[in-house]
Chain A
Amino acid sequence: MGPLIPNGVIPAEWDSIIAILIGIAFGFVLEASGFSSSRKLAGQFYGYDFAVLKVFFTAALVSVIGVYYMDYLGYLDVTQLYVHPFYLWGAIIGGIIMGVGFVAAGFCPGTSLCAVAIGKIDAIVYVGGIMVGVFIFSEMYTIFEPIYNGYFYGNVTLEDSLGINPYWFVFIFSMIAIVAFIAADMVRKRVKKVFY
């Protein structure tokens, strides 16, 4: 039966509308759980608030477990899902830039737009910075292109590249997540409380 759009259960023309609805819901949840505050996001790196780690790890876990149960029961075909293409050096360099930006400004691109929506000035500056970065990248595209399009390893998953049984991987992944949650709590209790 699923995925719904590729299998024609929902016509493909609806995907933009669905994307807008999901986007609104995502933005609402981000803002409602306080992710539009750069202090909360930065708390992750200073050890006084691990909400980001917990929320995103839990989201990944719930969805991966749900997807594999639905695949098992025949409601969803995992092989038809979109797998993100893997550009090795593009991912490494992009990850570093994104990480530095995250620590320095206290936003990731999604939460920065959330924060712009509620009128945070630092977020507006941050989004301006994103635009400048996009502009520089576009203008110098010919220089970056070999990295941008090179080192392409296909749409691989861990299952393909490491040959792990996905069910065991989900189990190990959830154990890691729970250990990370406990460790995060222990760190938070030791760090001096910051009021923000």
Chain B
Amino acid sequence: MVKKKIAKVLAFRYTILAVILILLAGGLVLLPKYQKHEGIKPEELLSNTISSERYMTTDRLAHILINQDPSFILIDVRDEKSFVNYTLPNAINIPLKNLFNEENIGYLNQNQYDVVLFSNDHFYADQAWILCNRLGYKNMRVLKGGINEWYATIINPLKPADNMPATDFDLYATRKAASMFFGVVYPEQFKVEAPKIVKEAPKKVITIEKKKKAPAEGGC
């Protein structure tokens, strides 16, 4: 009995398979479509965002600038006014609101250079970084602390206290040297050497004895 039933069903096996195929293919057509997002996945974005790998210290940046490393592009994401006021050497100004203008994409979406974003602190630069990261742009970095940190560490480094470890003094020396490179002048560079007081040799008084007029001798 069971065998007969199975045989009855199996007689239609090709029809059943064909119906399954049509149903599956039709299902593809009828499925509700959704917008696929370009760029990386949300989970990936989140894990990139909480990782601090993107940050570059000001010391590292100073090292790069001093060695004139050609593989880095500095991008200032502040507005134009601040950019004109003060910026890092050789930086390009791309204000945050113009970030994805067509002429700027070439700087951001590329694989050849490391891009360092910076702003006054790192918050605007972080926003720019997240937008770029979301689109899957590679090699994006953020200057930790931005220009404020740059000013506090490189341009105007804090002199370590006497009881601090030697490494702090080394760091200070490096930063000081870097700041000199970027044009800071320290008073000790201008230490005017105390004028040498040349002791004049005491004048020897050579007394020349006047020849005594010989008393007139003889006479008349």
* Interface residues in chain A, defined as those with a beta carbon under 8 Å from any beta carbon in chain B: 61-62, 65, 68-69, 72, 167-168, 170-171, 173-175, 177-178, 181
Contact = CB atoms under 8 A, between A and B. Distances in A.
Contacts of A178: 18, 21-22
The binding surface of chain B is classed by DSSP as helix
Interface in B24-60: 24-26, 28-29, 31
Given A178-B18, A181-B18, A65 B31 contact: no
Contacts of A69: 24, 28
A174 B22 contact: yes
B26 A171 contact: yes
Contacts, number: 36
**Residue among B24, B25, B29 having the largest count of chain A Cβ atoms under 10 Å:** B25
A88 B29 CA distance: 30
B31 to A, nearest CB: 6
A167 to B, nearest CB: 4
Contacts of A171: 25-26, 28-29
B25 A174 contact: yes
Contacts of B29: 167-168, 170-171
Contacts of A62: 21
A105 B21 CA distance: 33
Contact of A72 (B18, B21, B31): B31
Contacts of B14: 181
Contacts of A175: 22, 25
Interface in B120-154: none
A173 B21 CA distance: 11
Q: Which 9 A-B pairs have the closest CB atoms?
A: A174-B25, A171-B25, A167-B28, A167-B29, A178-B18, A171-B29, A65-B24, A170-B25, A174-B21
Nearest to B30: A167
Contacts of B18: 178, 181
A72 B35 CA distance: 11
Contact of B21 (A61, A68, A167, A168): A61
26 contacts: A61-B25, A65-B21, A65-B24, A65-B25, A65-B28, A69-B24, A69-B28, A72-B31, A167-B28, A167-B29, A168-B29, A170-B25, A170-B28, A170-B29, A171-B25, A171-B28, A173-B25, A174-B22, A174-B24, A174-B25, A175-B25, A177-B21, A178-B18, A178-B21, A178-B22, A181-B14
Contacts of B24: 65, 69, 174
Interface string B91-122: 00000000000000000000000000000000
A82 to B, nearest CB: 20
A59 to B, nearest CB: 12
Given A65-B25, A171-B28, 19 more contacts: A65-B21, A65-B24, A65-B28, A68-B28, A72-B28, A72-B31, A167-B28, A167-B29, A167-B31, A168-B29, A170-B29, A171-B26, A173-B25, A174-B21, A174-B24, A178-B18, A178-B21, A178-B22, A181-B18
**Residue among A61, A65, A173 having the largest count of chain B Cβ atoms under 10 Å:** A65
